């Protein structure tokens, strides 16, 4: 039988894991610095838990699962937000605000393409149980800090509001049943520009007069609060409650962002940013990296209605998902990883000179390990060149030899693989030399 | 719709996650200290990859998965060993020895019972590409060190050898096709005792004469090498190659265990320990905790034939799986976690006095975060008692107040939740006090 992976799936071999771990641990640290706690939910959910939340296009991509005698219809989770809503509904006594993060795989049967897989990690932070715009602002501050800490510089967190969008639609005269189509048209702004969006609206059957009004509103631009004030002036005469509420939300959000010290360079109100998922109800966020052009790397927003699908009482929620797979790829491609990050957690390879010296090699490996070094023993005698090639190939920074000469003198020889520098020392001193040469941590 | 979990699945809420993380990180550190590297494989494998490896009883428990337009038959992985064998066969150029660990969920549709779930983590370390018994010995040394580091004291790593078992069967005259049944009978030794095992053999149609001889061999007991020598004497006349090879393997293994400094109290040769899975071919290991009696917490062994099912060339492999879910439960039940381990990563809750003081609370939270403390901002004004109760409920060790008095003096008040001690200080000094009171790490 030929060893194969399912279509769209991948292995992550050890030399790719260190960078991945560095990124994941960085997120964990920042989430926890902001008071978010880890949560685990199972990969399999009841099919009914997932269905009816994402919209029909998304639901086509969900994997179903079954065991031979199973009576329940199960599915692999499609994201981490719906499982969170299920958790919040199931455990009503969880103290609120409930701030949780989860970094875990999800499964979507999308058409595989370069850098896109059918199993991929999502990296989510959400705040449950408060309608305060301070929560939404904290999500934006968190995005800002996480991306900055990971080395991103030229990014903008786009901010919009679903209530405001609905209000704009109503103000322009978009018929209620076409609101979904309106969003879908606006969502294409980046690719098609304003002309293209208007063309799309036409295709969806939105009247010409309405399209013109809508385009006028979407074209309003400006810095910070200005753009909100301009929009408010434009709609002043019409009393559209959703629009007013959306504007109030964004005003409050901007106020908190000031207090939280988020750089105004790092966010912008954008009336043309829509987000695909159906469940958003308030402010929405999306981060685009402008230079180099790598597109969107976070997405999220407020979704106050989701828990209500599972429980009598609704519970407000807001949060963001980081496109962690994309972020890992970009950090690798652009060389943004910290300088000391190696390809392997192994710090020393203890070579085996010959059968007779196996005991000495074992004792040396033990001693180095006890001195706190991640130590690999080669496990069998082989030509030294082969053992050195192995260390080189794997990126192990130090190699240790315990030959007859060294053994006779109670010493070992340690070699730095990068510089070739070599020292013959008692094992404890060799360990100290290696430790100091290695410096700080390795992404752990 | 009622929020429910699938049968046999569970959520792990934040207050359970810190202990879990402490155990996982401890394993990761020890694996890496021994030169093992992390590997990731997808949860979904081709169904054909998994089938025919575990035996029919196990395969009944495998979950199949499918998406609407999928043409491949997929399954959720049942363990981490078969995916490893698939990886080894797919990437023949991986440098050997290839030492990998993987701590990840697997899925088995077993009957749910207390402490047993259908999704659970496996925690595996394996060495690929060497037939040297030094590899098997290193696995035993790793088990010894990991369990010791986690606080286990009264455990024994039982060691047997599949070649030896086959040899004993042949020596006793067990017909070749009944070897599997022989193992299954011996496997029940712990529950049924020698009498019961003999009864089982009878049920399987093994002749009485054979049963007597087999029982005689299985009853041989002794310390370390003695038991091997006693067995060798018993079988001296018969030249059974598998038995001789099995004895040689165990002799070599014991020699390396000496050199590696594994305490003889922590392992024992046991001819009645069999392991369930079909793919083992050499030494096998299983750890039982003797006091308190919590049964088996590791299982593993050598399986040199598995890669051969995927590739022309076979590749030797040996390793162990730690029953990490059971280990986590036991550490919790017996209070074996380190003293400083808390229920939450949050170190400080910044309370919000009133709407007006929201800005001061935000600024304080930022400053504490910048001083390196995991800081949660309460996000909205609420009665102080409610905010204190929240901190208490979640196990957050420090609470900070920024009321009008403090704000006027440029100070904050910090309170230790356990002792009630309270200090009013400038924020930087408060942060230092909290940091020093918290002491070391929190399982991170």
- pLDDT tens digits, residue range B30-68? 999 999 999 999 999 999 999 988 888 889 999 999 998
Name chain A contacts of B38, Cβ cutoff 8 Å.
Answer: 14, 17, 21, 345
| Whole-number average pLDDT of chain B | 93
The CATH number for A348-438, chosen from 3.40.50.800, 3.90.1170.50, 2.50.20.10, 3.40.640.10, is 3.40.50.800
Residue limits of CATH 3.30.930.10 in chain B: 14-333
Distance CA B228, CA B246 (A): 10
Cβ neighbours of B256 in A, within 8 Å:
362
How many CB atoms are located within 10 Å of the residue B208 CB? 9
Q: How many A/B residue pairs have CB atoms within 8 Å?
A: 260
Structure tokens at B386: 């409610």
Please give the pLDDT value at position A407. 84
Q: What is the mean pLDDT of residues B387-402?
A: 97
Residue linked to tokens 């020895």:
B97
Q: What is the pLDDT of residue A25?
A: 97
A358 and B4: CB-CB below 8 Å?
A: no
User: Is A134 close to B369, i.e. CB distance below 8 A?
Assistant: no
Q: Single out the residue of B280, B314, B258 nearest to residue B92, CA to CA.
A: B314
Are the beta carbons of B39 and A375 separated by less than 8 Å?
Answer: no
> In this predicted structure, what is the pLDDT of residue A441?
54
Q: What single DSSP character describes residue B12? A: B
In whole angstroms, give the CA distance from residue B297 to residue A348. 30
Q: Which of B35, B261, B375 sits opposite A366 (nearest CB)?
A: B261
Query: Could you say which of B14, B35, B119 has the minimum Cβ distance to residue A43?
Result: B119
Q: What is the CATH number of domain A1-131+304-341?
A: 3.30.930.10
- Nearest CA-CA partner of B139 in B340, B1, B287, B324: B287
Q: Which residues of A touch B134 (CB under 8 A)?
A: 358, 362, 377, 379-380
- Shortest CB distance from B35 goes to which of A62, A87, A376? A376
- HSE of B380, CA atoms in CB hemisphere, 13 A: 13
Per residue in A342-396, pLDDT (tens digit) is 999 999 999 999 999 999 999 999 999 999 999 999 999 999 999 999 999 999 9
CA distance A183 to A191: 14
Low-confidence ranges of chain A (pLDDT < 50): 444
* Chain A residues whose beta carbon lies within 8 Å of the beta carbon of residue B379: 97, 127, 130, 132, 134-135, 138
State yes or no: pLDDT of B442 exceeds 70.
no
Whole-number percent of chain B with pLDDT over 90: 78
pLDDT score for B393: 97
pTM for this prediction:
0.95
Closest-CA residue to A259 (of B391, B357, B362, B24): B362
A35-66 as b/e: b if 16+ CB within 10 A = bbbbbbbbbbbbbebbbebbeeebeebbbbbb
On the question of pLDDT at B83 being above 60, the answer is yes
Can you tell me the ipTM of this complex? 0.94
| Region(s) of chain A under CATH 3.40.50.800 | 348-438
pLDDT score for A279: 84
Task: Report the interhelical angle of B427-438 vs B358-370 (nearest 10°).
Answer: 50
Place B441 in a pLDDT band, splitting at 50, 70 and 90. low
In 10 A of CB B161, how many CB atoms?
29
> How many CA within 13 A on the CB side of residue B154?
7
Distances (CA, A) of A68 to A47, B61, B64, B65: 17, 7, 8, 11
For A31: left if phi > 0, alpha if psi spans -120 to 50, otherwise beta; the answer is alpha
Say how far apart CA A236 and CA A250 lie, in whole Å.
Answer: 17
Structure confidence by residue, pLDDT tens digits, B116-125: 899 999 999 9
Q: Is the pLDDT of residue B444 over 50?
A: no
Residue B155 backbone phi and psi in degrees, to 5: -130, 155
Q: DSSP letters along A296-362, please?
A: EEEEEEE-TTTGGGTSSS---EEEEEE-HHHHHHHHHHTT-S-TT--S-S--EEE----GGGHHHHH
What does the pLDDT read at residue A410?
87
Give residues 63 to 102 of A whose Cβ lies within 8 Å of B. 63-70, 72, 74, 76, 86-87, 89-91, 94-95, 97, 99-100
In which region does residue B376 sit, left (phi positive, over 0), alpha (psi from -120 to 50) or beta (all else)?
A: beta
Q: Where in chain A is the domain with CATH 3.30.930.10?
A: 1-131+304-341
Name the A residues in 246-275 with CB < 8 Å from any B CB: 256, 259-261
- pLDDT at residue A440, as a whole number: 63
- Omega before B292 within 30 of 0, i.e. cis: yes
pLDDT digits (tens, 9 = 90+) for A124-179: 999 999 999 999 999 999 999 999 999 999 999 999 999 999 999 999 998 888 88
Average pLDDT (B240-264) is 95
Question: What CATH number does the domain located at B14-333 have?
Answer: 3.30.930.10
A84: three-class secondary structure by DSSP: helix
């Amino acid at each position: 039988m030929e060893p194969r992976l399912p279509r769209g799936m991948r292995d992550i071999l050890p030399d790719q894991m260190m960078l991945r771990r560095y990124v994941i641990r960085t997120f964990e640290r920042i989430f926890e610095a902001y008071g978010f706690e880890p949560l685990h939910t199972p990969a399999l959910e009841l099919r009914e838990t997932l269905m009816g939340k994402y919209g029909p296009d998304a639901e086509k991509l969900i994997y179903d699962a079954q065991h031979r005698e199973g009576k329940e219809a199960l599915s692999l989770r499609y994201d981490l937000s719906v499982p969170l809503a299920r958790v919040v509904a199931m455990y009503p006594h969880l103290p609120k605000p409930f701030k949780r993060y989860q970094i875990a795989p999800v499964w979507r049967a999308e058409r595989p393409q370069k850098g896109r897989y059918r199993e991929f990690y999502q990296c989510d932070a959400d705040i449950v149980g408060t309608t305060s715009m301070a929560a939404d602002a904290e999500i934006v501050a968190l995005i800002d800090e996480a991306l900055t800490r990971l080395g991103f510089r030229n990014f903008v967190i786009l901010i919009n509001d679903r209530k405001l969008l609905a209000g704009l639609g109503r103000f322009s005269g978009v018929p209620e049943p076409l609101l979904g189509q309106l969003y879908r048209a606006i969502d294409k702004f980046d690719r098609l520009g304003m002309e293209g969006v208007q063309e799309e609206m036409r295709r969806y059957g939105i009247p010409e007069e309405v399209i013109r009004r809508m385009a006028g509103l979407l074209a309003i631009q400006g810095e910070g609060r200005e753009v909100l004030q301009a929009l408010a002036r434009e709609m002043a005469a019409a009393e559209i409650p959703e629009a007013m509420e959306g504007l109030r939300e964004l005003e409050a959000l901007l106020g908190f962002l000031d207090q939280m010290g988020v750089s105004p360079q790092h966010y912008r109100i954008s009336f043309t940013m829509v987000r695909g998922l159906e469940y958003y109800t308030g402010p929405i966020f999306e981060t685009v990296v402008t230079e180099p052009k790598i597109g969107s790397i976070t997405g999220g927003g407020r979704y106050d209605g989701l828990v209500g699908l599972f429980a009598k009482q609704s519970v407000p929620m807001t949060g963001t998902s980081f496109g962690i797979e994309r972020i890992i790829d970009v950090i690798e491609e652009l060389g943004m990883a910290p300088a000391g990050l190696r390809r392997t957690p192994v710090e020393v390879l203890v070579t085996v000179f010959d059968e007779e010296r196996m005991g000495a090699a074992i004792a040396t490996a033990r001693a180095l390990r006890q001195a706190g070094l991640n130590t690999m023993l080669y496990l069998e005698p082989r030509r030294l060149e082969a053992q050195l090639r192995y260390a080189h190939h794997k990126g192990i920074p130090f190699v240790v030899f315990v030959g007859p000469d060294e053994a006779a003198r109670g010493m070992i020889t340690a070699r730095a693989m990068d510089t070739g520098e070599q020292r013959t020392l008692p094992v404890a001193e060799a360990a100290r030399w290696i430790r100091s040469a290695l410096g700080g941590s390795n992404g752990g």
